[in-house]
A = this chain, B = another copy of it.
Amino acid sequence: MAPSDRFVSENSFHVRYAETDAMGIVHHSSYIVYFEEARSHYSRVRGVDYAEFERSGYWLTVSEVHARYKVPARYAQLLTARCWIEDLKSRSVVFGYEIVDAETKTVLVTGYTKHICVNHQGQVTKMPDYWRAALAGERNST
């Protein structure tokens, strides 16, 4: 499901107890946070830092979230979040995600998030070149 024609970042982590619910499984909203951390990690391994991006006057606001839940995860399970760029325009970006069991690689949840670049005055704006290049992989990680 994760595309084979582009860079896919991977970060692994254990399910925290607080992320489960009374069904005994990971609450569906927790995956939205896993997606978010996955794209933070994507930037990191691409050599850029979203915290710095923000400090330089920009935000990538979330305009849309979608998740499809296939197999539940449980407390302490080791998961891997895969993240890639689905689409990259001058003012927007779409990230794709796959949450899999770190050992069996069973796909548990898939999804995407859409983002718009805005400045701290709230105006839609072009992403700075270094950031766009880094997301696109045109700049090497350090």
The residues of A with any CB-CB pair to B shorter than 8 Å are 13-14, 16-18, 20-25, 27-29, 32-33, 36-37, 40-41, 49-51, 54, 59, 61-69, 72, 74-76
**What separation, in Å, do the CA atoms of A22 and B50 have in the docked complex?**
12
* A22 in contact with B28 (CB, 8 Å): no
Known: A22-B21, A66-B66. A14 touches B29 (CB 8 A): no
* B17 in contact with A18 (CB, 8 Å): no
- Chain copies in the assembled complex: 4
Closest to A28 in B: B62
Partner of A68, one of B37, B49, B50, B64: B64
| Chain B min CB distance to A103 (Å) | 14
Q: List the B side residues contacting A21 at CB < 8 Å.
A: 17-18, 20-22
* A65 in contact with B66 (CB, 8 Å): yes
Closest to A25 in B: B22
| Chain B min CB distance to A86 (Å) | 15
**What separation, in Å, do the CA atoms of A20 and B18 have in the docked complex?**
8
Known: A14-B37, A22-B17, A36-B18. A62 touches B51 (CB 8 A): no
Q: List the B side residues contacting A14 at CB < 8 Å.
A: 37, 40-41
Known: A18-B33, A22-B20. A75 touches B61 (CB 8 A): no
Closest to A32 in B: B29
